[in-house]
Structure 1
Amino acid sequence: MGFKLKDDALKATRVLPSAASTQVDGAAIALGHGAKGDFLAPVEFNVEAPALTTTMLPDTRTMSYSVIHSDNADLSSAVVLYPNVIVQTGAGAAGAAAVEQAIRLPVDVKANVGLRINSGASTTDSSARTATLRPLF
């Protein structure tokens, strides 16, 4: 059974890309274990992708969400930890529904985690929507 308790004060968000074929990084959360510590907290992290309209995400086009980690709080030099945790695909002239996916971090995760969002070809400005990364206890 997964963790279910959410704390709305403890979450990070990232605005989605404003153009097609664009990558944005953000939603940084500092794990507080330092560069040489292990992450042993009993917690999962939830990746939350918002609903997208058919204008933002036309049929067959994609928006993908990966979990990244970095030693730096600004997520510079980030490395993909879990690629394509969520991939939304436009379908049925309806865009894509909101999606959530829980993940667990490895013990040797770097000090900061966040999201990398990639918009596919022929998508449009989705910057009115945000993706969320939050711990679940």
Structure 2
Amino acid sequence: MESEAKPPFPPFTYESATKKVKAAQDAWNTKDPQTVQFAYTPDSIWRNRDTFIQGREEIVKFLTKKWDKENGYRLRKELFAFTDNRIAVQFWYEWHDETGQWWRTYGLEDWTFAENGLMRKRQMSGNDVCISDNERWFKDDVDVNTVSIDEKHW
């Protein structure tokens, strides 16, 4: 839809790119696919590891399946780099599977934005690392915005 818009808009500055990254982090931490889909153009294309997705309907299906599997999901994103209409992000999140096993996923994303501030392309590469409960960074009393990557774990 041409009337849709999601500021901040490209071209990005350091401040506006950082704001866009934090908005994405906050949206994904809702674990609500119906909300998250509206950050993307209706025909947005994704590569998420080995999965290729196009359009909001597929985004909702993908995210619904993801968050049905990834229990206790908590995400942190940080700005890595930016240009006029592109942002690169490093991220890490923790989740546990149906057996209670905890995982930390590390990765990078490459985002391309339309003029209206909606993301039209998202490419994600990530790796899952098995962790114990005492290795978790995201506990109930920890704000995701305060957790930084520890170089020995990256």
Q: TM-score, normalised by structure 2?
A: 0.29
Q: TM-score, normalised by structure 1?
A: 0.31
Higher relative contact order (CA 8 A, sep 6+): 1
Q: Hey, which of these two has a bigger chunk of helix by percent?
A: 2
